[in-house]
Amino acid sequence: MISKNMENMLNEQINAELFAANLYLSICSYFQDQELDGFANFFRVQSKEELFHAGKQFDYLHAVGGKVTMKGVDAPETEFHSIIHAFETTLAHEKKVTASINNLVKHALIENDFATHNFLQWFIAEQVEEEASISNLLKKLRMIGDNSSALYLLNTELGNRVFTEPTA
């Protein structure tokens, strides 16, 4: 049985994952408007990943006898001034999520809640990957600058990303 405190914190985390899913759909739409379909695809997949994260936490909370409480999700940003700005917004949000996962881990340890601590390790590794992949794309975009052929190539590359549900 999970503590009320951990239950509340996990419910907050589910809400944060759903916010992220909507933020990435909002960014997806920004790219769609510019016909940058590869970038739009990248963020569509990013959004599906966030929904998967929320689902994983939802299932865990049920499994340990907690109560899932769905809350209102804040509206994400809808205006992006540039491609770089959209990616900077993404990186800033991922860093926020990393901090909140770290905080959850800290509280799981304080409470000697080893099951939740173990559950959260998957998310610790996931956040390392998320931050690395967005930072990498930001660097590439800065390198590209206003070279439209290079941007076209990256757009094509990002169009190949597909969502695959993690097995573990």
- Return residues touching Fe ion (CB under 5 A): 17, 50, 53, 130
Question: For residues 7 and 130, which CB has a smaller minimum distance to Fe ion in the complex?
Answer: 130
CA dihedral 9, 13, 19, 24 (to 10 degrees): 160
34 is in an annotated binding site: no
Give SS3 for 158.
helix
CA dihedral 91, 77, 12, 115 (to 10 degrees): -30
As measured in angstroms, the least distance from the Cβ of 42 to Fe ion is 13
As measured in angstroms, the least distance from the Cβ of 147 to Fe ion is 28
Question: For residues 7 and 50, which CB has a smaller minimum distance to Fe ion in the complex?
Answer: 50
As measured in angstroms, the least distance from the Cβ of 122 to Fe ion is 11
Question: For residues 17 and 113, which CB has a smaller minimum distance to Fe ion in the complex?
Answer: 17
Query: Amino acid letter at 35?
Result: E
C-alpha angle 10/29/167, rounded to 5°?
Answer: 45
53 is in an annotated binding site: yes
As measured in angstroms, the least distance from the Cβ of 89 to Fe ion is 12
Report the candidate in 49, 52, 31 with the shortest Cα–Cα distance to residue 158: 31
- Per DSSP, 70 falls in state -
Question: For residues 96 and 148, which CB has a smaller minimum distance to Fe ion in the complex?
Answer: 96
The rounded distance, in Å, linking the Cα atoms of 126 and 105 is 14
R_g (Cα) of the chain, nearest Å = 17
17 is in an annotated binding site: yes
Report the candidate in 86, 74, 73 with the shortest Cα–Cα distance to residue 33: 86
Question: For residues 129 and 157, which CB has a smaller minimum distance to Fe ion in the complex?
Answer: 129
As measured in angstroms, the least distance from the Cβ of 166 to Fe ion is 12
Q: Could you tell me which residues are annotated as the binding site for Fe cation?
A: 17, 50, 53, 94, 127
